[in-house]
Chains A and B, each alone.
Chain A
């Protein structure tokens, strides 16, 4: 019964995603892509788009992977913490609903939403850059959603300022790896435990470009995100909804 009513409610959750986040992601993604690629397209004229060795391809990879990260950040922002901060949980969970199942479903509904918006954006990109693979891009989106979104979900359960914390964790991990990663000290071993953000560029290049990626990188990213997602669900189960 719980699953049946939640499955029906998923349509409302998807609608919320589209109205509150999906439209924003589409507008930002479209404008970003247009502002960066359109001037190049005009400047290159008949040379457009060229092969994968041209700067167009490198720029496209950079922009498209950044849009995925930004979309995940927008999608996961306040996924749990907003209901708790605003008190919406009171009426939601006085109904016969398990909060763990509710938020797990919300996480995957939002994933479907992010995939749908990336499908629209990548299809548009594909029309002007035929070598850009929509399928590869969606694979990359799914991977980053789990990897980054899992951590974002955990932070949304554990803190009130989740997007800020996620951005700080993401950026902090990158900086700490750059500073300590190459050393052979305890610090370099410690930074190995941080989110594997250093693998993203490499995975983006290979996955978006060829549809293939180093399996250990993929497993590490997926595992890290899945672990934090599960940890978030565990805290939801064991902790209090109210402050």
Chain B
């Protein structure tokens, strides 16, 4: 975290922390004998310093995977290892910055004391606790809410408190489950800035989210899961996926009469916007160059769907 001295007492600081899911499966069994397969033959290696997104529809198995990664659930089959040891063992020795989808903090606690308690459990020294708590309170804009009881916090403020407790230490691994759920647009953007600041070759970040746009912006790779299986592993950079994108929305400020010449099949959707279909990025660039050279002013060119959204639709569609 920029501008803040690290206060971690991690045993394995500065060592390689690869997270490895090996053939992981999880079956929930009820007392009546019914069983639900939540995760199936899931294998994935998350590299040191990587930001990995996990995307999937509701009930895809994202939260179950994260629970197994933190050692809260035992896999029915396979193993989850962090830095070569079992995930639970790693967490007990080193801790992980974790923000769950449901922010479960005792409602009777005050925001400030909740953070002090978690800081104590995290092993932050007495001398540093208040400095560290002040830092996360400031970072997450909780100063005016610090004396409020947890039950009195709004959904957005509770979400920020959840994130604050995950950032108390300079953790090597951060796991954020639906981190912007309930945040307003200002704090959603602020969250993205915070994650950008957290990007570090020594830190691995896992973000599970429904928000594909967010994952596209933040993650290096995104694991798309559905029905408990890894459907696709997508690199979010456009250089990997540009050939797959064929539909764009082009916004023209002036020179509307020139659009048809450059894009014969352009569809006018109003307010100076046109949907165009091309066979390749090269064709798109050639047509745009033609349009601009004739005097048109192009304000924006946006893919109809992001790389990730396109891959997500294909992957989830294929699995159903």
Contact = CB atoms under 8 A, between A and B. Distances in A.
A8 B125 CA distance: 10
B98 A91 contact: yes
A9 B121 contact: yes
A87 B73 CA distance: 13
B228 interface: no
Given A8-B126, A240-B72, A95 B121 contact: yes
B104 interface: yes
A241 B72 contact: yes
B61 interface: no
A59 interface: no
B251 interface: no
B9 A93 contact: no
B152 interface: no
Nearest to A85: B104
B117 A94 contact: no
Chain A CB within 10 Å, residue with most, of B71, B72, B97, B175: B72
Interface stretch (B52-60, B86-94, B192-200): B86-94
Interface in B163-188: 165-166, 175
Nearest to A16: B106
A98 to B, nearest CB: 5
B75 to A, nearest CB: 10
Given A93-B91, A94-B98, A242-B73, A5 B104 contact: no
A84 to B, nearest CB: 10
Interface in A101-143: none
Given A91-B165, A93-B91, A242 B72 contact: yes
Interface string B88-132: 000111111110101011100000000001101111001000000
Interface residues of A, number: 25
Interface residues of B, number: 31
B104 A1 contact: no
A13 to B, nearest CB: 10
B117 A12 contact: yes
B205 interface: no
Contact of A97 (B74, B92, B100, B162): B92
Interface in B1-54: 9
A88 to B, nearest CB: 5
A68 B146 CA distance: 38
A241 B67 CA distance: 9
Interface of A: 1-2, 4-6, 8-9, 12, 86-98, 239-242
Interface of B: 9, 67, 70-74, 91-98, 100, 102, 104-106, 117-118, 120-123, 126, 162, 165-166, 175
14 contacts: A5-B121, A9-B117, A9-B121, A86-B104, A88-B104, A90-B70, A90-B104, A93-B72, A94-B98, A94-B166, A95-B123, A96-B93, A96-B121, A240-B73
Given A5-B122, A8-B126, A95-B95, 7 more contacts: A2-B92, A88-B104, A88-B105, A90-B70, A93-B70, A94-B96, A95-B122
